[in-house]
Amino acid sequence: MLIEVIASTLDEALELERLGADRIELVTAVSEGGLTPSHAMINQVCEQVRIPVNVMLKTRGDYQFSDNDMKIMLEDLSYIRASKANGIVFGALKGDTLNLNYIQQVIANKGHLQMTLNRSFDRTADLEEALLAVETLPIDRMLTSGHEQSVITGASTYRMIQQRMAGKMIVMAGAGLNLKNVDAFVKENHPAEIHFGSGTHIDGKWGNPISEAALKQLVKLK
């Protein structure tokens, strides 16, 4: 099982690598659900860590992008593509449905980069409609909480999505996982990849340092 963890600074990225994280999701503005970091941040993190780095491609927190937002993100994507990044994390909504036009624009311009569909999927109104749309996308993985606020409450739907996407893409579990529930979730649902954010910080708070004890517990699950 692969463990992906959010980093929003170079120091966090280096510490997460040291403690055994398998991949970094690099963001800024965690209070907004993660936005695209600066070019300098992307460059420094990708140059200094050896584990894969997937960069958030996102200008605003609600996934409701304008054409001007897309111009900016496509320019950011060009920079990310030229860096040593492993991949990007992207998703877009039009109202309460996936914005396939914008998603396909990013796919067409991502080049060699892997792509993770972010939790915009979990904000759609119609689960089946969203799944049918995702099945058409040539992407590497989707991050989902099982179409719920938490993957703990969405566990049964998460398992269904896993089965449905088998052989098409990785279905990474995230949102709602913490050190108290992750062991049971992994044993019951067998995710290929899990995604952690604030749960890897002391007391589960973003402003606190990375918790060495938390990473040790997660690494034991692999």
Q: Model confidence at 128, in pLDDT bands (50, 70, 90)?
A: very high
What mean pLDDT is predicted for residues 142-151?
Answer: 97
Which of 57, 34, 30, 53 has the alpha carbon at shortest distance from 43?
A: 53
pTM: 0.96
What mean pLDDT is predicted for residues 134-161?
Answer: 97
Q: Model confidence at 217, in pLDDT bands (50, 70, 90)?
A: very high
Tokens representing 106 are 């990013």
pLDDT, one tens digit per residue, over 56-103 is 999 999 999 999 999 999 999 999 999 999 999 999 999 999 999 999
For 9, counting Cβ atoms within 10 Å of its Cβ (0-12 exposed, 13-18 middle, 19+ buried), the class is middle
pLDDT, one tens digit per residue, over 26-42 is 999 998 889 999 999 99
pLDDT of 18 > 90? The answer is: yes
pLDDT of 126 > 90? The answer is: yes
Contact 102, 70 (CB under 8 A): yes
Q: Model confidence at 20, in pLDDT bands (50, 70, 90)?
A: very high
List the domains of the chain with CATH numbers. Answer: 2-115+177-219 (3.20.20.380)
Report percent pLDDT > 90 for the chain. 98
Contact 2, 192 (CB under 8 A): yes
